[in-house]
Amino acid sequence: MKRVMLVFGTRPEAVKMAPLIQALDAHPRLQPLVCLTAQHRSMLDQVMAFFGIQADIDLDLMRPGQTLTELAGSILLHLGPVLQRERPDALLVQGDTTSTLCGALAGFYAQVPVGHVEAGLRTGDLSAPFPEEMNRILTTRMGTWHFAPTPLNRDNLLREGVAAESIHITGNTVIDALLWTRARVVQQAPEEGGRPFVLITGHRRESFGQGFESICRAIADLAETHPELDFVYPVHLNPNVQEPVRRLLGGRANVRLIEPLAYAEFVGMMDRAFFILTDSGGVQEEAPSLGKPVLVMRDTTERSEALQGGVRLVGTSVERIVQESERLIRDPAHYRRMAEALNPYGDGQAAQRIVDILDRDLNPGGGAA
């Protein structure tokens, strides 16, 4: 059995790694080795429990108020000895978090081949998203396998000189996770009283400060103009999000500020929403599969494939967020065009494609007879 270590520590990573862990666990020649950095402890644990995933190694590196430098140093210090002890045959990282970059770097130092799941996403702006754009660029330089969700992601990698034979278009594993969850959800989102609602999420570091102030003011304007709608906001635990959201949106009759939802509950909430306001990359990928228009409250996006369909980039200005939301509320034809757009991010088979490639390369000749 060839052992494949998967290193991750945030809830979005766990969602996107879960289908890979399941596919590896079912494979006759490959074995998953799950290593958590766990900087998103409570939200990560929810996803692990829902998908039935057990950690083999839990570094448990969540610390209140730690800086990016402190987190990165801690991951490298703790993961290095783990790799020396376990000596996996391959190491997988996902996306663009601190775990992604440091997992790839630790693998590179240990001379373990690295596979980058969700490779090739680019905005071209190192400050947006920060620090994610730099994380994925540096991870690319250390990768043996580049699992690109779309042809556009492949083209980004080719422009950077990545060898064509190391790039594999697989789709995005988040669609695997979404479809699996949608078919099995038993938990339900909090009762919305039957009223139509707009679902909101926001957590991006580059929006801290003025960006979140503007986002909250836009939501407040929309809530006041449209008392017939509810605005449901599961508020991220980061204090830089909590403070402006609760100060500017708390106490409004049709704005519901709730705790972060478990993944299954969040999928149910997306499925019932009127439309979604978000800065999340995963939501941009998931919502089109549910027929939900998405307004992305960022100035740039590395997921531009859907911008001509079910996704619109609106930035963090009050005027633009309100304008594009009003268009969805008041123009049924525009709403229908966005809701019916095809999802470019996959068909639910990405994890199996990745596992097949790993099996081919780690077990040349098909393994033992």
| Candidates 236, 303, 312, 353; catalytic one | 236
| Topology, domain 2-171+349-362 | Rossmann fold (3.40.50)
Domain borders along the chain are 2-171+349-362, 197-339
Per the model's pLDDT, the better-predicted residue between 38 and 27 turns out to be 27
Distance separating alpha carbons of residues 349 and 238, to the nearest angstrom: 33
Distance separating alpha carbons of residues 132 and 129, to the nearest angstrom: 5
| Candidates 122, 154, 203, 312; catalytic one | 203
Predicted local confidence at residue 187, as pLDDT: 46
Q: Which CATH class is domain 197-339?
A: alpha beta
Write the pLDDT tens digit of every residue in 132-161. Answer: 999 999 999 999 999 999 999 999 999 999
Q: What is the mean pLDDT of the chain?
A: 92
| Candidates 205, 226, 246, 327; catalytic one | 205
Q: Read off the pTM.
A: 0.83
Write the pLDDT tens digit of every residue in 272-329. Answer: 999 999 998 889 989 988 999 999 999 888 888 878 789 999 999 999 999 999 999 9
How does DSSP assign 91-114, residue by residue? EEEETTSHHHHHHHHHHHHTT--E
Describe the crossing of helices 318-330 and 332-339 by its angle, rounded to 10 degrees.
100
336 contacts: CB under 8 Å, gap ≥ 6:
none
Q: Is 132 a catalytic residue?
A: yes
Nearest C-alpha neighbor of 347 from the set 268, 275, 273, 285? 285
| Candidates 11, 40, 122, 132; catalytic one | 132
Nearest C-alpha neighbor of 121 from the set 94, 81, 83? 94
Q: Is 146 a catalytic residue?
A: no
Asked if the domains at 2-171+349-362 and 197-339 fall in one CATH topology, the answer is yes
Q: Is 118 a catalytic residue?
A: yes
Q: Is 236 a catalytic residue?
A: yes
